[in-house]
Structure 1
């Protein structure tokens, strides 16, 4: 277990997928907050010291693009990884997030992409 691990917010309306993702991230040493809809996710995002967000695109009520836009207004510096079962999303959605991946890419890719979002920007030449 990593000490002082990053706090990740996962937002997904699919309970099983959310639970599996939470367990995966916790086993990788992350602390995880979970929300089952966009509004709950926004409340956690605003009130907690979240360091990155893993956000599902297709949710009832407020889809991931809308949630990402609101998150960008609140805390534009927090990285957002958008997950989708869809292979192609409109540019106006993907431009709101730092990374986009399909759910079919699997756990190792998710962990790798999340870690890349959390790495400090290198200042070396």
Structure 2
């Protein structure tokens, strides 16, 4: 069943794709670019961090199992730099390892399966329509400022 996205998605949203499996990386890239997203790909987490630091991304999609640094470690490093960036983690080990949004730091965790692409399209559409929340420290300052002006 085809997935239809509404037009409220960020126009030309930039997505960073990370996967050491070239086929998986290319398959996701082709599908997302056909939907109008701009994508950059990295074959490992270290390269992904370099790209992330040099670019402006609206979404990160990463595989879990990669040599050197796994997807959860990558998520931790990205969160240190941008706590609000939406991140999707994709893995064939979701159930076996108990990978959840809470345990990984990802906004969405997707199991590799025949329906993976449909789940990714839905997740991207949902996450890119959601306005980014500022980091907690900025929200706290904002609340304090409002209280001062209200008094």
Deviation at 1:106, TM superposition (A): 2.2
Q: Distance in 2 between matches of 1:86 and 1:10?
A: 19
Match of 2:62 among 52, 55, 61: 55
Q: Aligned Cα RMSD in Å?
A: 2.0
Q: Distance in 2 between matches of 1:55 and 1:25?
A: 14
Q: Is the 8 A contact 1:6 1:30 kept in 2?
A: yes
Richer in helix (by share): 2
Give the structure-1-normalised TM-score. Answer: 0.88
Deviation at 1:108, TM superposition (A): 1.6
The structure number with the bigger radius of gyration is 2
Match of 1:120 among 114, 127, 130: 130
Deviation at 1:86, TM superposition (A): 1.0
Map 1:24-63; keep pairs closer than 5 Å.
24-63=31-70
Q: Is the 8 A contact 1:94 1:100 kept in 2?
A: no
Deviation at 1:77, TM superposition (A): 1.0
Once the two structures are superposed, residues 26-68 of structure 1 have per-residue CA deviations (whole angstroms, 9 ceiling, x without a partner) of: 0011000000000000111111001000010000100001000
Match of 2:72 among 65, 78, 87: 65
Unaligned runs of 5+ in 1: none
Give the structure-2-normalised TM-score. Answer: 0.73
Q: Distance in 1 between matches of 2:101 and 2:14?
A: 27
Q: Does the residue aligned with 2:17 lie in a helix, a strand or coil?
A: strand
Q: Is the 8 A contact 1:81 1:101 kept in 2?
A: yes
Residue in 2 aligned with 1:107? 117
Q: Is the 8 A contact 2:12 2:37 kept in 1?
A: yes
Match of 1:21 among 21, 25, 28: 28
1:94 corresponds to 2:100: no
Aligned residues: 120
